[in-house]
Structure 1
Amino acid sequence: MEPTIFDLILSKEIPADVVYEDDFVMGFKDVNPQAPVHVLFIPKVQIKTHNDLNADNMDYVSKIHLAINAYAKQIGVAEDGYRIVMNCNGQGGQTVFHIHMHFLAGRQMQWPPG
């Protein structure tokens, strides 16, 4: 697969404001934030879309969720609440084809989101 911008961030070829990192997941601030806190959490392996998840790579999604839980507690928004969004393909709003979860916090979220 051709490298995405997220792969270039993982390899440090493109700088990012990294706020979380472990052996499996990286979290960095979105360059176009939609909330006071907007962090993208990505696996350290390229999985193109949600449709490409399978038994061999599904653990990465669990690790992203655990990373988000830890980060929410670390920055003090776990109790107030936050939103997690994952888009899939064009009509779902996905623009970078390396799965990622948007973590949004710091304001009251509205429903429906759009």
Structure 2
Amino acid sequence: MAGEPQADCLFCKIVAGEVPATIVRETETTVAFRDINPQAPTHILVIPKVHYANARELATAEPAIAGDVLREAGELAAEEKVDTTGYRIVFNTGPGAGQTIFHAHAHLLGGCDLQRLV
């Protein structure tokens, strides 16, 4: 059921503490951790603790939590000191966009010239 943890979801396992991750911040509704295959010097994933397959499903069912994900990404950009040089918040939705884990998540990217990353 949407919103409920999924036994086969890597990110649900990270939320539950069953899989290790380099967690940089946690709130009541989100968990943020460093990407294991970073595409920029700052590459943090911000995920909702509730399970929805993609950004659209999350925004439709839980708009406040979708807002929490965006707010946390912005707060982390400031903590990582990329807020003044520029950063991206990216939601890949669907396999054609590069989504490989079907639990909504935002990528916070910064710390380099992001124009090279398309």
Same fold (TM over 0.5): yes
Deviation at 1:93, TM superposition (A): 1.0
2:77 maps to 1:68? no
TM (norm. structure 1) is 0.91
In the alignment, residue 49 of structure 2 is paired with which amino acid?
K
1:1-53: CA deviations, max 9, x gaps? Answer: 53310000011110000011110111000000001110000001001123423
Distance 1:55 1:97 in 2: 16
Q: Which structure has the highest helix share of the two? A: 2
What's the RMSD between the two structures over aligned residues? Answer: 1.5
Q: Which of 8, 12, 31 is 1:7 aligned to?
A: 12
TM (norm. structure 2) is 0.88
> What residue ranges of structure 1 are gaps of 5+ in the alignment?
none
> What residue ranges of structure 2 are gaps of 5+ in the alignment?
none
How many residues align? The count is: 113
Percentage of identical aligned residues: 35
Deviation at 1:56, TM superposition (A): 3.5
Name segments (4+ residues, structure 1) moved above 3 Å: 53-56
In the alignment, residue 105 of structure 2 is paired with which amino acid?
H
Q: Which of 90, 101, 107 is 2:106 aligned to?
A: 101
